Amino acid sequence: MAKLLNIKEKGLAGEILRFIVTGGVATVVDFLASYLVASLLPDSMGVWKEVIYTAAGFAVGVVVNYFLSVFWVYKNVDENVNVRSTKNKILFLVLSLVGLGIGIAIMIGFDALDQGVIHSDFENWLGFITKGMPFSFASFGWAVLFFGFKTLIVLIWNYLSRKKLIFKSKDESSTN
């Protein structure tokens, strides 16, 4: 157990723990940026509202995630793999954009569920700051739940795709 908690180690357990911590930091940044932008956009934008606020949070979160991934998360990377090369930066961005597409699709689905069934107006939970609306624990709760589910799905995609295609260990590099 002590070895699992040692987030400085080069092993897979430490890497996964560092990835989760990095994801947590990037998620908080993404969450706050997303809903700040969502609370500033008019509801009349329709589906474009989800696209814009999800993309805005993604943009901020992916920058945080990239720097933490390169400099802290993946310590068990084959030295022959230049993770900071232009090719791998572009690949990181492309894989992240696929994750963004997955996230946007999920948030569009949750917005449809909210409008059709729940009626919590989860996208505007920060409206008490930006629009003078009263704070709603229900809206905040649904926002956290929906955002958390989206983040979990995209996190799995991000880890598996980056680990397989960019941050390969020595064992993985020699088999390809």
Each residue of 85-135: pLDDT tens digit?
A: 888 889 988 998 999 999 999 999 999 999 999 999 998 888 888 888 899
- The pLDDT of residue 58 is above 80: yes
Task: Give pLDDT, residue 89.
Answer: 82
Using a cut of 0.85, tell me whether the model's pTM lies above it: no
Which band of pLDDT confidence, cut at 50, 70 and 90, is reported for residue 153? very high
DSSP states of the chain as a string?
Answer: -HHHH-TTSSSHHHHHHHHHHHHHHHHHHHHHHHHHHHHHS-GGGTHHHHHHHHHHHHHHHHHHHHHHIIIII--S--TTS-TTSHHHHHHHHHHHHHHHHHHHHHHHHHHHHIIIII---GGGTTHHHHT-PPP-HHHHHHHHHHHHHHHHHHHHHHHHHHHHHTS--HHHHHH-
Which band of pLDDT confidence, cut at 50, 70 and 90, is reported for residue 9? low
Task: Give pLDDT, residue 103.
Answer: 93
Q: Sketch the domain layout of the chain as residue ranges.
A: 12-168
Task: Give pLDDT, residue 144.
Answer: 94
